[in-house]
Homo-oligomer: A and B are copies of this chain.
Amino acid sequence: MELLEAIRSRRSVKQFAEKPLPRELIEQVLEAALWAPSGQNLQPVRFWVITDREVLKELESALYEHGLKLKKLLPILRLFVARFKGEKGPRLFRSLRPALFNGAPALVLTGADTGSSTTYAKDCTLAAMNLMLAAQGLGLGSCYFGWTALLNRMSDWKKRLDIPSGVEIVDGIGLGYPAGERQPPARKAVEEVTTWVEPAGSARQ
């Protein structure tokens, strides 16, 4: 698939088909993801790939339950944690629902050893974007799941998924075949979100 076509046609898949995913396809997607840049080329990014349906189901429930516990604490969290302040907290929790994985037959977690570099989190997220685009190019669908970051507070689950205690999970991405067609939602226009600092005499917004 052509690059710009892949970029513009990729969307967050809200419902995946039941069809399972061949491991070879997942490997191709991961290989592409590894071509993302990393700070000082240290390549700290690691992947955990979960395709066991039972494990996926249990993990989805565990994340949802953990999210509900946090939601109960929201009135306190809003006062003390920058991340949850103002309207941000309530808005975030509106996305908490039982079917967090949208029926994806595969979940890829990115993460890195927190001692590996100062930029490991960004390195992971750059790889996550490559991963989602590569999936698109191979005829698959993907969806970025923010709630998987809760895994960092769930040591029993980290153990179960073979994630070392020194590793921080950064991104979670569902992979699979999309059920049905859907257009990506419209985007803001470039001029709406861009400030130009151009040489004197150039056209300036």
Contacts and interface: CB of A to CB of B under 8 A. Distances in A.
A193 B45 contact: yes
17 contacts: A2-B3, A3-B137, A4-B32, A4-B137, A7-B32, A7-B130, A8-B32, A12-B37, A31-B190, A36-B129, A40-B92, A51-B197, A83-B118, A85-B115, A118-B146, A119-B146, A122-B125
The interface centre, meaning the residue of A92, A125, A203 with most chain B CB atoms within 10 A of its CB, is A125
Interface of A: 1-4, 6-8, 10-12, 23, 27, 30-32, 34-37, 39-43, 45-55, 82-89, 91-92, 94-95, 114-119, 122, 125-126, 128-130, 132-134, 136-137, 144, 146, 161-163, 171, 184-185, 187-188, 190, 193-200, 202-203
**How many copies of this kind of chain does the complex include?**
2
B118 A40 contact: no
Nearest to A196: B49
A169 to B, nearest CB: 12
B171 A122 contact: yes
Contacts of A43: 187-188, 193
A203 to B, nearest CB: 8
B195 A46 contact: yes
